[in-house]
Structure 1
Amino acid sequence: MAACVACKQPLVLELEPDEDEDIEMGGGSSSGKAPATVETVPDDVQLSCGCHFHWDCLLEAYQITQCPNCGKDLATTSSNGTQQLLCNLHNEGGFQENLDILPLLGEETYLKAYPEERKCRAFLEFCREGDVKAVIGLLQDDEEEDEEDEDDMQEGEQLGRKIGPDELLRYQDPIGDMQSGLHAAVQAGSREVAWLLLLLASDLDLLQFPPEVFQEAEALGIMRGITEGKTDIRSLRDADGKSAEDLAKDIGGVWVGWPGTGRLSI
């Protein structure tokens, strides 16, 4: 079996044992029973040059479009004229042949340079999934982290840049067509997240909101703060110059009746 050229270890990933299973099996106890068996799944990225890497090892060593091991240029041109980097990927999800991983590598390279934006991208993903509680949890976590940073900061000590709740709400993805959370929610048809974002990051007249929105917001412990001087999320436009309302017009469906009301555009 081939090994990772970076770490020389087998091309598998060990899964963390389930704690409940470990307890049932007697792991860590004096019962004499064996702990849960460590499970493994494939973790093999085979580049077109023939070199094999673990996914994380490739990310650590990634050098634009050259193989970090043999130095071969791996870039090819797709049928539509864009650059691509093809590989055979075998992981927990199965085997994928001739998969273009250049977008993923580009994203990871960007996040290495700007690690604080991982939370921003998680925020956008929660907006796409329509997970209101996760969106709120992320915003509340940011507030708690800001307070902890102020408490822990020593004289002369500089912490990495923190993205606060206001900036998180208005974040636009620089490697994802400059979409905001409102764009992501509209594209995914998530009206509940859209109402939440409008409540927290817009100047939309509160009379426009259904009573149910306020009831749920109160139950989740959130409230609109001061919006004066802050960017209204409805004014944000993606890389194509489209507002969230423009997307809603294109999509239709759950957004029928929203365009023209001021809910998604100012």
Structure 2
Amino acid sequence: MATTVCAACHDRLVVEIDLHDQDLDAPSASSSAAAASAPQTVQDDIQLIACGCHYHWQCLLDAYSITECPSCGASIVSQAPDGGQQVLSNIVNEGGTQQGVDILPLLSEEGYLKAYPEERKCRAFLEFCRQGDVEAVVEMLQGGDDDDSDDEEDDEGEDAMDTDTDAPIDMLRYQDALGDQSSALHAAVAGGSQEVAWLLLLLSSNLDLSQFPPQVLAEAKRLGIARPDDQPAKVDIRSLRDDEGRTPEALAALLGGVWQPWLANRWLAA
């Protein structure tokens, strides 16, 4: 793929990156084993196969509009093997060269999150639940790890676990609008994370506290976590359904394994 200039900004198709702070949302961004602290110049070339125009990844995200090339106006959508739509591209970046990559899912996701930026944090929360990263889950619920640091409401120290009236989205009960409408509890079940599941049940379900293992309550106390006083008036997270109509309990029944004791004790039953 010949190096040229970006059709949007007309600069060379390179970008300075800090290898400690790469954009994980970029297509095929890969972690480098090199530990370089200074920014480095690497190629950043997204060529739309349908029309041949080249873009920086961020320039394409900023200019992208549905089905047409932002520069030449040609249609960039083609039919995918499954009968759906695709936007094929050739990519050259720090991860190497890839040919014929469908970037429509990434473009659609970024377009949605650009329109609804408050959901970016919620989707990161779901991913931490899926990974079983308890520390990250707790930090997000307590207002830390906030990428939107210019949001003054988050900077006031409001605890996201205790209220959902000051924020546009209740993170604990958020359902993935870009995916299958999974909730955080669906994500924890899918990832096999019992520790995160207990945390979510404590904060957003009506499961009687006598049903919680003592070690779970002890750890919650250590972390300064307690069930909100207004929880009985809120939706029980166990009742949320994904786009296939499955509750977290139904998903656990499908997966079995570590969830068998949970099913037997009906801890996931709303």
Shorter-chain TM-score category? 0.7 to 0.9
**Within 2, Cα distance between the matches of 1:77 and 1:147?**
43
How many percent identity over aligned positions? 55
Out of 96, 105, 110, the position equivalent to 1:108 is 110
Partner Cα separation in structure 2 for residue 17 and residue 263 of structure 1: 43
Specify the SS of the correspondent of 1:90: strand
Alignment of 1:52-131 (within 5 A): 52-131=54-133
Deviation at 1:38, TM superposition (A): 3.8
Q: Distance in 2 between matches of 1:250 and 1:117?
A: 28
Q: Return the offset for 1:148.
A: 4.7
CA-CA distance at 1:41 after TM superposition = 2.4
What is the distance in 2 between the residues matched to 1:163 and 1:234? 21
**Of 206, 211, 217, the match for 2:209:** 206
- CA apart distance, 1:150: 10
1:2 aligns with 4
Match of 1:186 in 2: 189
Change in CA separation of 1:200 and 1:150 when aligned onto 2, cut-off 3 Å: closer
Contact 2:14/2:45 (CA < 8 Å) preserved in 1?
Answer: yes
Determine the C-alpha separation between the residues in 1 that align with 2:106 and 2:79.
Answer: 17
Q: In the comparison of the two structures, how many residue pairs are matched?
A: 238
- Residue of structure 2 equivalent to 1:39: 40
**Equivalents in 2 of 1:259, 1:89: separation in Å?**
46
Aligned equivalents of 2:228, 2:92: Cα separation in 1? 48
State the SS of the aligned residue for 1:97.
Answer: strand
Deviation at 1:185, TM superposition (A): 0.9
TM-score by length of 1: 0.82
In the alignment, what sits opposite 2:224?
221
Letter in 2 for 1:41: V
Pair 77,232 (structure 1): closer, same or farther in 2 beyond 3 Å: same
Distance 1:192 1:17, change over 3 A: closer
Q: Is the 8 A contact 1:204 1:262 kept in 2?
A: no
Which structure would you say has the larger Rg? Answer: 1
User: 1:149, CA displacement in angstroms?
Assistant: 6.1
Contact 2:143 2:154 in 1 (8 A): no
Which residue of 1 is the match for residue 163 of structure 2? Answer: none
Give, in angstroms, the shift of residue 253 of structure 1.
2.2
Distance in structure 1 (CA, Å) of the matches to 2:191 and 2:253: 13
Any idea what the Cα deviations from partners look like across 1:86-116, whole Å, max 9, x if unmatched?
A: 1112222332221111111111111111111
Structure 1: unaligned runs, 5 residues or longer: 19-35, 152-160
Map Cα deviations across residues 151-197 of structure 1 (whole Å, 9 max, x no partner): 9xxxxxxxxx8336xx1100011111111000111111111111110
Point out 4+ residue stretches in structure 1 off by more than 4 angstroms: 142-145, 147-151
Matches for 1:110-189 after TM superposition, within 5 Å:
110-141=112-143, 146=153, 148=155, 162-163=167-168, 167-189=170-192
* Distance 1:16-1:235 versus aligned 2 partners, 3 A rule: same
Q: Which amino acid aligns with 1:94?
A: G
Name the SS for the 2:241 alignment partner. coil
Number of the residue aligned with 1:22: none
Give the residue type in structure 2 aligned to 1:235. S
Residue 145 of structure 1 and its aligned partner are, at CA, apart by 5.3
Residues 201, 237 of structure 2: 8 Å contact kept: yes
Runs of 5+ consecutive residues of structure 2 not aligned to the other structure: 21-36, 159-165
Asked if the contact 1:123–1:135 (Cα under 8 Å) also holds between the matched residues in 2, the reply is: yes
C-alpha contact 1:116 1:163 (8 A) present in aligned 2: yes
